[in-house]
Amino acid sequence: MNPYQTIPSAILNDAGLNCHAVFELAQLSPDVREMLLARCPRAAQYQQLILIGHGGQRFCEALKESGAELVREEGKHPVDDFSVATVQHYLDNDWPGCEHEIVYPGAYTVSLQELGKLAGWHHDSPFMVGVNQHFGSWFAYRCLVLANTELPVTPAYCDASPCDSCASKICISACPAKALEGGEFNLMKCINYRRQPESKCRTTCIARVSCPVGTEHRYPREQIAYHYGRSIAMIEAYAKKE
């Protein structure tokens, strides 16, 4: 059973948006509240902050069932568009007239990983993607909503990082760039390797795929290729500007 699926909404869950954490703004630590207020000046007028993610394979299936395609095209964001449309549908259906604001995806840069840690979804992995015992690394943050909803606040789900008890740490040895050696992620080694024409990591991360945790939730190949294809395109575009 998915321990992060706490909002019983068929609209969200049937779309694969099956990870939820509801925070009462007033109960967030001063640090987190300050971070939010600095980035979303209107945050103070809302009562709740809702973090919504997807875990596993259903999200990609549902996106395709909606008629969208996972293709990389300039100016197109099918993952964000599908996520926002689904969350908006949920809010309109379950909370009609309720004031709300979708702050991610959007102009604000809120630290989703910090919120994921607060929710108990996110432990750091050697390859710098969040990992947990249920989904392994096969989950992602899709929407962050400020709202005057009255949802039950989600107790933080506290489990240990799967990396703590992972004897093989196979992700580290699997990285062809040796970018994870010594316990620190070496971003430049990773990028330099990924940019090589013969790289095995242009549209995937071999380290991530080698992790044995949550393999039944691994994204379909096309979804992995989509996300890593976007990141390599951004890396190449940035390199061209330099």
CB of 216 to ligand SF4, least distance (A): 14
- Using the rule CB under 6 A, give the single segment among 75-83, 86-94, 188-196, 232-240 that binds ligand SF4: 188-196
- Using the rule CB under 6 A, give the single segment among 13-21, 39-47, 95-103, 207-215 that binds ligand SF4: 207-215
Out of 50, 62, 84, 207, the only residue in the binding site for ligand SF4 (CB under 6 A) is: 207
Per CB under 6 A, does 205 bind ligand SF4?
Answer: yes
Q: What whole-number distance in Å separates Cα of residue 59 and Cα of residue 224?
A: 12
- Using the rule CB under 6 A, give the single segment among 27-35, 46-54, 76-84, 186-194 that binds ligand SF4: 186-194
CB of 3 to ligand SF4, least distance (A): 18
Out of 37, 38, 85, 170, the only residue in the binding site for ligand SF4 (CB under 6 A) is: 170
Q: Which residues pair with 136 in a beta bridge?
A: 132
**Binding flags for ligand SF4, 103-132, as an x/- string (CB under 6 A):** ----------------------xxx---x-
Q: What whole-number distance in Å separates Cα of residue 141 and Cα of residue 147?
A: 17
With vertex at residue 232, the alpha carbon angle to CA 115 and CA 110, rounded to the nearest 5 degrees, is 20
Q: What whole-number distance in Å separates Cα of residue 82 and Cα of residue 105?
A: 11
CB of 235 to ligand SF4, least distance (A): 11
**Binding flags for ligand SF4, 211-230, as an x/- string (CB under 6 A):** x-x-----------------
Residue with smaller CB distance to ligand SF4, 76 or 169? 169
Q: What whole-number distance in Å separates Cα of residue 50 and Cα of residue 124?
A: 22
- What angle do helix axes 78-94 and 58-65 make, rounded to 10 degrees? 90
Per CB under 6 A, does 179 bind ligand SF4?
Answer: yes
Residue with smaller CB distance to ligand SF4, 104 or 127? 127
Residue with smaller CB distance to ligand SF4, 21 or 205? 205
Per CB under 6 A, does 166 bind ligand SF4?
Answer: yes
Out of 55, 194, 218, 223, the only residue in the binding site for ligand SF4 (CB under 6 A) is: 194
Sequence-distant (6+) residues with CB within 8 A of 64 are: 70
**Lookup: tokens for 4:** 């992060």
User: Under a CB-based contact definition with an 8 Å cutoff, are residues 12 and 90 in contact?
Assistant: yes
Q: What whole-number distance in Å separates Cα of residue 189 and Cα of residue 48?
A: 41
Centre a 10 Å sphere on the Cβ of residue 174 and count the other Cβ atoms it contains.
Answer: 17
With vertex at residue 95, the alpha carbon angle to CA 112 and CA 23, rounded to the nearest 5 degrees, is 35
Identify which of 236, 215, 212, 213 has the alpha carbon closest to the alpha carbon of residue 224.
215
Residues that bind ligand SF4 (CB under 6 A): 125-127, 131, 162-163, 166, 169-171, 175, 177, 179, 190, 193-194, 201, 205-207, 211, 213
